[in-house]
Amino acid sequence: MAKILHINSSVRNQGSLSRQLTGEFLAKWKAANPSDIVIERDLASNPVPHLTEQMMGAFFTPAEQRTPEQAQTVLISDVLVDELLAADVIVIGAPMYNFSVSSTLKAWIDHIARAGRTFNYGETGAVGLVTGKKVFIVTATGGVYSEGPSKAYDFLGTYLRSVLGFLGMTDITFVQAEGLAMGEAAVADTLAKSRTALNELLAA
């Protein structure tokens, strides 16, 4: 039995293709693995707070020295880290906003990137502690960023691969739904390709 953490970061509850594709992927996963458990974390309907000075102070205060207010402040971050550490598989729906991740996904990352919990600093540098996970990321972009003149503007995939890798998650597979603002034919084509790619991952 595997535990799957599903992160939805689209600000849209309706009409989101990243939501649609990750939902289809997980429905087929559950059909093939009915005993697996899926934990849903919807960052649109239940956004996590952005970092504040008080949060940062609480993060860097040893747990036994935190005030009651600091303990309450750090609670949501601890819940998010616990969800991540308990998961065997992480599925992230990540549309591109202004060439990068949504602010809600960035806030989630800010809460799970915790020194002493998800990474440590050693003599040779940082060491990620979130290991042994399989990560699937479905991206959705209006243009084409995997190749061509706009590739240099892709701070979505490059950022996610870098920050998750920093935390120890290096087994990452991307499925890119591209060209969604380039007409109905382009949308139909990229959806077909994305579904094929996701089905191949399920069959692997």
Please enumerate, by residue number, every residue annotated as part of a binding site for FMN.
10, 16-18, 96-99
> What is the number of structural domains in the chain?
1
Asked if 29 contacts 116 with a C-beta cutoff of 8 angstroms, the reply is no
Closest CA relative to residue 77, chosen from 97, 94, 63, 93: 63
User: Looking at residues 108-116, what average pLDDT do you find?
Assistant: 96
- Residue 204 confidence (pLDDT) above 80: no
Q: pLDDT digit string (tens) for 144-196?
A: 999 999 999 999 999 999 999 999 999 999 999 998 989 999 889 999 999 99
Q: In terms of residue numbers, what domain contains 138? A: 3-203
Predicted TM-score of the model (pTM) = 0.94
Q: How far apart are CA 38 and CA 31, in angstroms?
A: 12
| CB distance 82 to 70 below 8 Å | no
C-alpha torsion angle, residues 123, 128, 129, 131 (rounded to 10):
-130
Nearest to 78 by CA among 131, 116, 133, 127: 116
Least confident of 22-31, 75-84, 104-113, 183-192: 183-192
When pLDDT is cut at 50, 70 and 90, the band that residue 14 belongs to is confident
pLDDT at position 164: 98
Tell me the Ramachandran region of residue 6: left when phi exceeds 0, alpha when psi lies from -120 to 50, beta otherwise.
beta
- 8: CATH: 3.40.50.360
Binding site members = 10, 16-18, 96-99
Asked if pLDDT for residue 124 goes beyond 90, the answer is no
Three-state DSSP at 112 gives helix
Tens digit of pLDDT for each residue in 3-12?
A: 999 999 999 8
Q: What is the mean pLDDT of the chain?
A: 95
Which stretch of DSSP H or E encloses residue 121? strand 119-122
Q: DSSP H helical segments within the chain, as ranges?
A: 17-32, 53-59, 68-73, 75-86, 103-112, 157-166, 184-203
Beta carbons of 70 and 57 less than 8 angstroms apart: yes
* Percent with pLDDT over 90 in the chain: 90
Give pLDDT, residue 75: 96
